[in-house]
Each structure stands twice: as C-alpha cells, then as structure tokens.
C-alpha cells in the first residue's frame, strides 16, 4: 500500500468517524514507518490519536505508546491527551488505579467531559452500576445536551430491568435529537419490553412515518422492517386481548387498531417478497396466521 493511499483512507475514516481498528492500524503503521506524520501538518496530531486508539483496540500497546509520547511532547497538559493516557492505562492497569487517575483529572478540571465518560465506563465494567448511574446523573446535570450520555443512562437502566427509568432517559434524548429515528425505535422497543404496548405502538408508527415514503408498493427496508415488526407485535396483542391493556403512560389504544394490524401484516409480508426474502416468507406467513 502506498503512503498516499493510506493517508487518504485514514483521513476518510476520521471525517466519517469510522473505527475499523485493524484496518486503521495497518494503514497507520505504513504512515508511521514512512515518517508520513510530518507531511500531514496539524492533521498529523489527529492521525496519531486515531492510530493510538486503533492500536489499543487490537492490543498493540507499543505503537500506542509511541503515538502518546509524541502527543504528550507536543501538547503537554492537554486534557485530550490526558484522557487518551487514561484509555491507555485501562489496557494494563487495575480499574481502581484508572479510577484514581480520572479522579485526579476531574479534581483539576470538573468540566472535562471525556474524563467523566471514561470514569463512568470503568465503573460499568467493575459492575458498580449504582455508582455509574449516580455519576452519570451528576454529569448530565452539567452536560444536559449530551445525547450520548442520555442513551448511556438508558442502556444502564435497561440492563438492570429498570425500564421506566430507561424511558425517562430516552425522553431526554428524543427532546434533544427529535430527528433521529433510531432513538425513537429504541424508545419503542424499550416501551414494548416494559409492557406498555399502546406507547410502544405509537412510537413504532412514528419511526415508520419518519422513514417510509407514501407508496404502498415500496418494499420496507432497514429500520422500517424492524418498526413494522414491532407494530405487528403490538397490534396483534392489542387486537387479541380480551381486556384493555394498561398503559403506564396513559397512551390510548387507537380506535382503528384492527386496520393497523392488517396493514402491519401486509407490510411485513411485503418486506419478505424480494429476491432475498422469499424463502422466509412462508415462515413469516405461518407465524402471522398463528400456525
């Protein structure tokens, strides 16, 4: 591989936030050995950070240390380099040692968001869930607009079967990023797991509305297939239930629930009508008909 092509692909990875660790390492090693860092100018420091993270991902601590040494010499006392050093410590040091290091960083600068998030990550790996939730709530009191922080909090609560709290965290993520259908899908699936079928149905339909064009002949793809499956799961239970489903959110069941169920059946089957889905269509059809 030529130095120029390696530099171009690594730059593309950085711009698109792609983290293909092994591929990044292989290309980055070509650049490092060829002394290509100097040719990148100021962008060379972003490259070193990129290579350091990739090296840690695949266990090449030696290369990560080379990158960190150059970064520390260029940016002494940089909060970004300090956090990168902490990530390096996570690879070889005990969790308690790493926590102490992040505590030092936060005592020096309590607004170091990256240090907060790495500390919370370490707490989760130590299975100190309550402390991780406490710290994450404290972090979000300051950095309310961090959508990833709210998604992390929702994930922690979901992993502990605390779905009501998870939905509360996801509500904040939706408020901050109302154009992301994947967050709506996560909310819908969490509501379904929590047993709030009317709320789950409502949110699955929102996902569909955000992604599908108004053409009944279009085959659902990607996230829309998953949303239609969720819609079918909800509507099937709501139609067949002899009693009214309780909704903790007081979300009403749509009056046209039977029509929604029929439409969901049609759209799910349509999703399996293409060349690659035809083999599974009979299985799906049997499930739909209760056989």
Is 86's pLDDT higher than 60? Answer: yes
120-125, long-range: CB < 8 A, 24+ apart: 120/152, 122/90, 122/95, 122/98, 123/99, 124/156, 125/95
Query: 211 versus 86: which is more confidently predicted?
Result: 86
What number is the average pLDDT over the span 190-217? 88
Helix axes 95-108, 79-92, angle to 10 degrees: 170
CA dihedral angle for residue 279, residue 283, residue 289, residue 291, rounded to 10 degrees = 140
**What gap in Å lies between CA 228 and CA 288, rounded to an integer?**
13
What number is the average pLDDT over the span 158-181? 96
Q: Could you tell me the pTM of the whole model?
A: 0.85
- The helix/strand count (H/E) of the chain reads as 15, 0
What number is the average pLDDT over the span 21-33? 87
pLDDT in tens, 36-73: 676 667 778 888 999 999 999 999 999 999 999 999 99
Instruction: Check residue 51 and give its pLDDT.
Output: 92
Mean pLDDT over the full length of the chain: 89
Q: What is the CA radius of gyration of the chain?
A: 24
Neighbours of 111 (CB within 10 A): 10
pLDDT in tens, 229-240: 999 999 999 998
Percent of the chain at pLDDT > 90 equals 64
CB 124 within 8 A of CB 159: no
- Local confidence band at 291 (pLDDT 50, 70, 90 cut-offs): very low
Query: 1 versus 179: which is more confidently predicted?
Result: 179
What number is the average pLDDT over the span 261-271? 88
CB 199 within 8 A of CB 163: no
Instruction: Check residue 36 and give its pLDDT.
Output: 63
- Local confidence band at 151 (pLDDT 50, 70, 90 cut-offs): very high
């Amino acid at each position: 591989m030529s130095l120029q092509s390696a530099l171009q692909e690594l730059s593309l990875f950085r711009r698109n936030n792609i983290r293909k660790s092994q591929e990044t390492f292989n290309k980055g090693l070509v650049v490092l050995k060829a002394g290509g860092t100097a040719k990148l100018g100021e962008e060379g420091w972003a490259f070193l950070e990129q290579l350091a993270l990739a090296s840690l991902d695949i266990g090449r601590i030696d290369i990560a240390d080379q990158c960190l040494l150059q970064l520390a010499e260029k940016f002494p006392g940089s909060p970004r380099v300090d956090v990168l050093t902490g990530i390096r410590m996570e690879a070889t040091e005990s969790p308690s040692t790493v926590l102490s290091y992040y505590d030092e960083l936060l005592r020096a600068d309590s607004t170091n968001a990256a240090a907060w998030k790495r500390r919370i990550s370490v707490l989760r790996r130590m299975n100190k869930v309550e402390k991780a939730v406490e710290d994450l709530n404290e972090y979000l009191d300051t950095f309310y607009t961090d959508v990833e922080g709210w998604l992390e909090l929702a994930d922690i609560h979901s992993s502990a079967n605390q779905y009501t709290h998870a939905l509360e965290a996801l509500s904040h993520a939706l408020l901050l990023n109302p154009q992301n259908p994947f967050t709506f899908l996560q909310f819908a699936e969490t509501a379904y797991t929590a047993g709030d079928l009317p709320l789950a149905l409502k949110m699955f339909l929102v996902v569909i509305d955000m992604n599908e064009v108004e053409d009944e002949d279009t085959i659902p793809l990607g996230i829309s297939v998953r949303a239609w499956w969720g819609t079918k799961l909800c509507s099937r239970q709501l139609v067949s239930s002899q009693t009214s489903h309780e909704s903790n959110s007081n979300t009403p069941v749509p009056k046209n629930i039977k029509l929604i169920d029929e439409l969901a059946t049609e759209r799910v089957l349509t999703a399996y009508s293409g060349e690659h889905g035809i083999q599974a269509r009979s299985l799906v059809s049997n499930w739909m008909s209760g056989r």
